[in-house]
Structure 1
Amino acid sequence: MARGSSGIVAGLTAAALVAVGFLAYQASANAPDSVAVPKPETSSSAPAVGHDRPKEKERSTALPAESGAGARVVYALGDRRVWLVDAQGKVTRTFAVMPSALSPRPGVYRVGSRSGSIKGSDGVLIEHVVRFAMADGDVPVGFSAAQDGSMESPDPTLKTGGVRMKRADGDAMWRFATVGAKVVVVP
C-alpha cells in the first residue's frame, strides 16, 4: 500500500504545481501595465542587454578655460578634478580628487605651507600635504593623500579641509606645488 500512496502524493504534487504555474501565467498576462515588469525596448542599432542602468554624470578632463595662465594647480570643485599646468600652459597631469567637507571659494590662492606626513583633522594619517586656502574662517584647506591609499567621502559633520587624492597623484602634487605656487579654484 505504501507504493500506491506515494504515487498518489506525487501525482497530486505535480497537479498542484501545474495549477499554480497556470494561475501565475494568467495573473501576469492580465496584470495592468502599472504593475507589470517593464519589457526592454530594443532597436536594430543597439544591443538589448547591459544598458538599463542610469549613466553617472561624466566629469570633464579638459582643463577649464577660465583657469588663468602660466604655471598653476587648477582645482575644479564641480568636476572633482585637479590639473597640474606648467609655465607654458601645458597640462602635465590631471587626476580625480575627493573634495573635503569644506571647500574654498573659487579664486586664486598661493601655497602657504606644506607638511610631509601628519595626522589629518579626520584622524587619518596623510602625506604630502599642500595647504593653500582657509575655509569657514579658520579651517585650512589643502591637498593630501592618505597613507593607506583611501579616498573616502569626508564626514559632513566634521569641519575638514583635506582634498584627498591617490598616493601617486599626491607625489606629483608634492613635487609640483612648492610654497608660493599658484592654485586656481574654479566652480
Structure 2
Amino acid sequence: MARSSSGFVAGLTAAAVLTVGFLAHQAQATVPRSLSGRPGPTATPAASVSKAPRDKRRPTALPGGSGTGERVVYSLDDDRVWLVGPDGSVQNTFRVGPGNVDPAPGTYAVVSRSKAITGTDGVPVEHVVRFTSTDGVVIGFSAALDGSWPTSDPAIRTGGIRESRADGEAMWMFATIGQKVVVIR
C-alpha cells in the first residue's frame, strides 16, 4: 500500500510541476515586450532621427513624415500630440508636458492602459496609455488629477507624458490597445 500511494503522490507532484511551468510560460508570454525589457515588434526605432518637416505658418499643423493611417503622433521637440484619424485628418492636437525620460523616435503600439493609478512622481493620474519603456522606465500618456505637470526632480526618473484632464480623456478614447504611436523629433 505504501508503495502504490508513493507512486500516486509522485505522479501528482509531477503533474503539479508541469502545470505550474506551463502557467508560468503563459504568463510570461502575455507580458508586452515593451514592458518586459525584451526587444520586439511593438517598437521600431526610426532609422533617421532628423526632425520631421514643419509648416512654419501653422505651428500646430501635423508634421510631414509622421506616418500614415490612424495614429497618435508625439513630437519630442514640440511637446505636442496629434490624434490622427484613419483618413489622415487631425482629430485633435494639444500640448503635453514630458517626463525626464524620452522614448526614441520611432513607431510603437499602445501596450497597456490604466484608468487610474499613482504616477512615478507620486501624483494620482488617470487615463494612462502606455506604449514603450526606456532603460526600465515605462513611457506613456496620462493626466494628473490635480492638473500638475511632471516633476523636474532629476532624482525621479519618469516617463509620464502629462496632458490636461480633457486631453487625457480624448487620448483615452482614441488610443486603445494596439493603436499606433509615432514618436518624432
Q: 1:152 to 1:160 in 2, by over 3 A?
A: closer
Cα distance in 1 between the residues matched to 2:179 and 2:150: 27
Q: Which residue of 2 aligns with 1:102?
A: 101
Amino acid at match of 1:117: A
Q: Which runs of 5+ in 2 are unaligned?
A: 1-56
Cα distance in 2 between the residues matched to 1:102 and 1:59: 28
Q: Which runs of 5+ in 1 are unaligned?
A: 1-57
Cα distance in 2 between the residues matched to 1:185 and 1:111: 12
Q: Secondary structure at the match of 1:89?
A: coil
Q: Secondary structure at the match of 2:104?
A: coil
Instruction: Tell me by how many angstroms 1:154 deviates.
Output: 3.3
Q: Which residue of 1 aligns with 2:138?
A: 140
Q: Tell me, yes or no, if the aligned pair for 1:98 and 1:153 is still in contact at 8 Å.
A: no
Cα distance in 2 between the residues matched to 1:100 and 1:151: 8
**Count of aligned residue pairs for this structure pair:** 129
Q: Secondary structure at the match of 1:168?
A: helix
Cα distance in 1 between the residues matched to 2:153 and 2:123: 12
Instruction: Tell me by how many angstroms 1:150 deviates.
Output: 1.6
Instruction: Tell me by how many angstroms 1:141 deviates.
Output: 0.2
Q: Tell me, yes or no, if the aligned pair for 2:150 and 2:160 is still in contact at 8 Å.
A: no
Q: TM-score, normalised by structure 1?
A: 0.66
Instruction: Tell me by how many angstroms 1:100 deviates.
Output: 1.1
Q: Which residue of 2 aligns with 1:131?
A: 130
Cα distance in 1 between the residues matched to 2:58 and 2:116: 30
Q: 1:165 to 1:59 in 2, by over 3 A?
A: farther
Instruction: Tell me by how many angstroms 1:156 deviates.
Output: 2.4
- CA RMSD in angstroms comes to 1.5
Instruction: Tell me by how many angstroms 1:103 deviates.
Output: 0.4
Amino acid at match of 2:159: G
Cα distance in 1 between the residues matched to 2:58 and 2:162: 17
Instruction: Tell me by how many angstroms 1:158 deviates.
Output: 1.2
Q: Which residue of 1 aligns with 2:78?
A: 79
Amino acid at match of 2:155: T
Q: Which residue of 2 aligns with 1:16?
A: none
Q: Secondary structure at the match of 2:141?
A: strand
Cα distance in 2 between the residues matched to 1:82 and 1:184: 10
Q: TM-score, normalised by structure 2?
A: 0.67
Cα distance in 1 between the residues matched to 2:85 and 2:93: 12
Aligned-residue identity in percent: 58
Cα distance in 2 between the residues matched to 1:158 and 1:108: 26
